[in-house]
Chains A and B, each alone.
Chain A
């Protein structure tokens, strides 16, 4: 499974010889404890299916309202873009831009980059601009904050519960599922995709 005999710990520079792992085993650095590599069932089909599911759920999460509140017969609902526009209209454009980037553009970028890379690898080919796409993917991942936004939505629901009638919307459920899907996708070790691409080049 390992195409490379050596492995360097990213966190402390220790060098190890790679070995085959048992099912679900994680190889950790003996010195600093950081994860070196893990046994992952690298089924590209499953990854592609997860990515497509993430794309569909992403659309649903953005189209349907996250929360709806009613106060004395007057209703109001919020979507992600409603929240972004509301901060923009409050005069804090930086916050609007930050929310748009971390909850909309970076997660969407992550999905789009996987959709670019995976189908070609599945067919045993190296996609065009493969290394640019992989670098972009690695840079985008730490800045994707869908899970924090989900917790924020839950906090907002509880905060308003005493003041108005609060109805969680389809968007809230969709953000919950999107969080699970993106967490799974982010959990894949991108270095394994490089090894698969190496195999395709040969």
Chain B
């Protein structure tokens, strides 16, 4: 039995922990085993976690471009009509004096998605190399992106509410734009990516046998 730095891993003991119900059961060595209590499938490591996470992450990064270039909101009044992207919306807020609001929207819609994509890429690359670089910090980063991921939906909800509120016949009207669609997709894809990443990979060394 090999213990890593005083820590005994489930696979050293020949047991598997169930993510759904917490039961610890004996690893019978089968490729597809199921939790005896809740029937959830058990894996020593999530199969194909890295390639699945990469695929979702790249899709999210690609869609992040139209999400920022396409208008998220269209405003029409008697005098003019204009379209706002996420960033131009933040600038409008800033100029109108709502600096705190501008910062909230900027962090939720711009900083959080970029941070999430960058962190996931870092976690994937280091896990692929079996790197032992700053493992506790990497574990903390993973828990952080799991926690903040869904806050990026903020601007999508703001646009939806403004569209519902501002429709005064021909006087003033707000509509959601295609950017909102791309942006919603980015949020869903980054959430799926972080859910499909198996954080146990952060602690694996290259020599340790993988179960893929």
Residues of B within 8 A of A30 (CB): 7
The answer to whether B8 touches A14 (Cβ under 8 A) is yes
Residues of B within 8 A of A67 (CB): 161, 165
Which residue of the partner chain, among A10, A32, A151, contacts B17 with CB atoms under 8 Å? A10
Residues of chain B from 144 to 197 with CB closer than 8 A to chain A in the complex: 150-151, 153-168, 171-172, 175-178, 180-181, 184-185, 188, 191, 195
The answer to whether A12 touches B153 (Cβ under 8 A) is no
Residues of B within 8 A of A14 (CB): 7-10
The answer to whether A159 touches B162 (Cβ under 8 A) is yes
In whole angstroms, how far apart are the Cα atoms of A34 and B199 in the complex? 11
In whole angstroms, how far apart are the Cα atoms of A148 and B72 in the complex? 18
Which of these binds chain A: B35-43, B54-62, B113-121, B125-133? B35-43
B124 within 8 A of A: no
Residues of B within 8 A of A40 (CB): none
The answer to whether B165 touches A69 (Cβ under 8 A) is yes
For A31, the closest partner residue in chain B by CB is B7
The answer to whether B143 touches A8 (Cβ under 8 A) is no
Residues of A within 8 A of B162 (CB): 156, 159-160
Given contacts A90-B163, A98-B156, A159-B158, contact A4 B24 (CB under 8 A): yes
The B contact surface, by secondary structure, is: helix
The answer to whether B161 touches A8 (Cβ under 8 A) is no
Given contacts A12-B199, A31-B203, A94-B181, contact A149 B157 (CB under 8 A): yes
Number of A positions contacting B (CB below 8 A)? 66
A158 within 8 A of B: yes
In whole angstroms, how far apart are the Cα atoms of A84 and B15 in the complex? 47
B2 within 8 A of A: no
Instruction: Map CB proximity to A onto B1-13 as digits: 1 under 8 Å, 0 otherwise.
Output: 0000101111111
In whole angstroms, how far apart are the Cα atoms of A162 and B98 in the complex? 10
In whole angstroms, how far apart are the Cα atoms of A85 and B165 in the complex? 11
Residues of chain B from 98 to 128 with CB closer than 8 A to chain A in the complex: 98, 101, 104-105
The answer to whether A34 touches B143 (Cβ under 8 A) is yes
Given contacts A6-B15, A95-B176, contact A13 B150 (CB under 8 A): no
Residues of A within 8 A of B82 (CB): none
Min C-beta distance of B13 to chain A, whole Å: 6
Residues of B within 8 A of A76 (CB): 165-168
Min C-beta distance of B117 to chain A, whole Å: 18
> Apart from A135-B40, A152-B156, what 16 extra A-B contacts exist at CB < 8 Å?
A8-B15, A10-B17, A11-B143, A13-B9, A15-B10, A32-B135, A76-B166, A95-B156, A102-B150, A102-B153, A131-B39, A148-B157, A149-B153, A152-B155, A155-B158, A159-B162
**Complex A-B, nearest 5 residue pairs according to Cβ-Cβ distance, in ascending order:** A8-B17, A152-B157, A191-B22, A86-B163, A78-B164
